[in-house]
Chains A and B, each alone.
Chain A
C-alpha cells in the first residue's frame, strides 16, 4: 500500500468534479464579475474598487462554501450508496488513504475554482482602476489565499460529518459550523459578558472547539488595499493545517470501524 493510492483517488475525485461540470460555476461568476465591474465603474474612484473587492470576495467565499459543503458531504455517502467504495476498498487502498484522497481531490477542485475566480476579480479590478490596480493586488491575493485555507478546513469538517451522518444532515452540520465559526469573536464576547455562568462557559467552549472562520476573513482590509501581515498569513496557515488534520484524523477514526452495509 503506497501513497499512490491517495493520489489516484484524489485525481479521480478532481476528474469527477470537472466532468460533472462543477466548474460551470466559474461561468456564472465571470458573468457576475463583468456585470459588477461595469456597475461599480460608474461610482467614484475609491468606492468602486472597495465595493468590487468586497462583493467579489463575498461571492468567491459563498461559491466556495457551496462547493465545499455540498460536494464534501457527498464524498463518502455517494460512494457507499452506489457501492463504488466496495470495489475500491477491495483493492490495496486503506480507508485513511481513501479519505485523504477525497479531501485532496475536492480541495484541488475548490482551489482551481477559487484561483480562476480570483484571476477574474483581478482582471475586473484592472478594468475599474486602470493603471492603479497593482496597488491592491497583494492584498487581494492574500485574501484569496485565506479564503482557500478556510475552505480547506470546511472540506475537512464536511468530510468528517459525511463519515457518520446522512448527506442532508452532514450539509446542515457543516453549514452550521461555518456560520457559527464566523462569529467566533462575538461568541467570546458573549462568553465574557454573559450573566449566566453556564451560558458564558458554553459560548467559550463552542468558540474554542469550532474553527474560527472569522480569523480567515480579511476582506475589509483587502478592499482598502491595506497590506495583510505575513504573521497573520503564517498563523492562519498553521491553524488551518492543524484544524484540517485533526478533522481528518477524527474522520479516519470514525470511518475505519464503520461497517459498509
Chain B
C-alpha cells in the first residue's frame, strides 16, 4: 500500500473579480510515495508545492484527479496524519504545552497518555525547557519547533511538512533533520516541501520537482544526482590560463593522451556529479526516470577563470 498517491491531480483557481478566469495551480500531477520514505517536493515559489499539500489534506478541493493517503481518499485518514504549515502561527494566548496538548486532544490521544506524549514531542523538538512559555513570547524559530511538536504528538504514520526548516538556526535545522530521520526509523512517511536543496539532498530518499504546477521530474536522489556521472571534467593548462573540458568517461584516456601529446599540463580529472541545485535551476525539465537533462550539459571547453566569474 502506498503512503501517498496523487492521480492526475489538478487544481484551478478563479482569478479576477468582474471576469473571473481559471488559473491552473496544479496540472495533472501524479505522484506515488512509498511507506517509510522521506519524500521531497521541490520547486520555486508558486510551483505548486503548497497546493499539493493542501489538496492532500483536503484544505482545498481538486478540480479533477484524486489524492489518496494510505490507500484511502484524502481526508479519511486524518488520525494518521501530521501537518506543519509554512510559517505557522498558533493561538498566542496559549502556552507551548497547552497548544500541543490541545492538538493531542484533537488527534484523540487518550487522556492517560496525553501528558507523556506532549512531553515527548516537546522534548524531541528541543522545547522541553520552554513548555510553559507563552506563545506570544516565542521567537519564530520556537513557534516553528512547537509547530513540529503538534505535528508529531500523536505519532502519525504520514507527516506533511511545508518548509519545516524555515526560520530555524543551524542547530534547529540539525535537530529537525535528526527528528525527520528518527521518525523515518520509526516507520513514518515524511513528505516535505522545501526550496533549501541541501536539506533535500541530506534527507530525501526521492524527490519530485514541480515547475509551474507540473511535475518536472521525480526519482531517487542518487539517480537524479548521478545522471551525469558518466562524464568527467578535465582541468588543464596549455600555454595560457587553465581550461576545463567535459568529456565522456569512455573518451577520457584518449583525451588525456591527446592533451599530453600537445604538451598540456593536466591539473585535475574529476567525475561530474550534478548537484540538486543544478537540476532544480535548469530551465529544461529533468526526466522522470532521473536520466540526463540536456540543459545541464556543460560547455565543451570554457576557461576556468571565466567559469568562476
Contacts and interface: CB of A to CB of B under 8 A. Distances in A.
**Bind each other:** yes
Interface of A: 1-2, 4-5, 8-9, 12, 15-16, 19-20, 82-84, 86-93, 257, 259-261
B57 interface: yes
Interface residues of B, number: 32
22 contacts: A1-B78, A8-B102, A9-B106, A12-B91, A19-B93, A20-B93, A83-B85, A86-B54, A86-B57, A86-B85, A87-B84, A87-B150, A87-B151, A90-B57, A90-B59, A90-B81, A90-B83, A90-B160, A92-B107, A259-B13, A259-B59, A260-B59
Contacts of A83: 85, 87-89
A15 to B, nearest CB: 7
Interface string B106-141: 111000000000000000000000000000000000
B56 to A, nearest CB: 10
B83 A86 contact: yes
A90 B58 CA distance: 8
Given A8-B102, A83-B89, A84-B89, A257 B82 contact: no
Contacts of A92: 78-79, 106-108
A5 B106 contact: yes
A19 to B, nearest CB: 4
A16 B91 CA distance: 8
Contacts of A9: 106
A126 B91 CA distance: 42
A89 B89 contact: no
A163 to B, nearest CB: 15
Q: Give me the 7 closest cross-chain CB pairs, A-B, nearest first.
A: A90-B83, A19-B93, A92-B78, A259-B60, A91-B106, A260-B59, A82-B89
Contacts of B79: 91-92
B108 A87 contact: no
Given A87-B83, A91-B78, A4 B91 contact: no
B145 to A, nearest CB: 14
Contact of A87 (B13, B60, B87, B147): B147
B107 A91 contact: yes
B85 A4 contact: no
Contacts of A86: 54, 57, 59, 83, 85
Nearest to A89: B59
Nearest to A261: B60
Contact of B91 (A2, A84, A93): A84
Contacts of B81: 90-91
B88 A91 contact: no
Contacts of B103: 87, 91
Nearest to A92: B78
Interface in B48-85: 54, 57-61, 78-79, 81-85
Nearest to B102: A12
B190 to A, nearest CB: 15
B228 to A, nearest CB: 39
A254 to B, nearest CB: 14
A254 B117 CA distance: 36
Contact of A2 (B13, B83, B93, B108): B108
B203 to A, nearest CB: 21
B277 interface: no
A25 B94 CA distance: 22
B230 to A, nearest CB: 44
B101 to A, nearest CB: 10
Contacts of A4: 105, 108
A261 to B, nearest CB: 7
B17 to A, nearest CB: 13
B93 A15 contact: yes
A4 B102 CA distance: 12
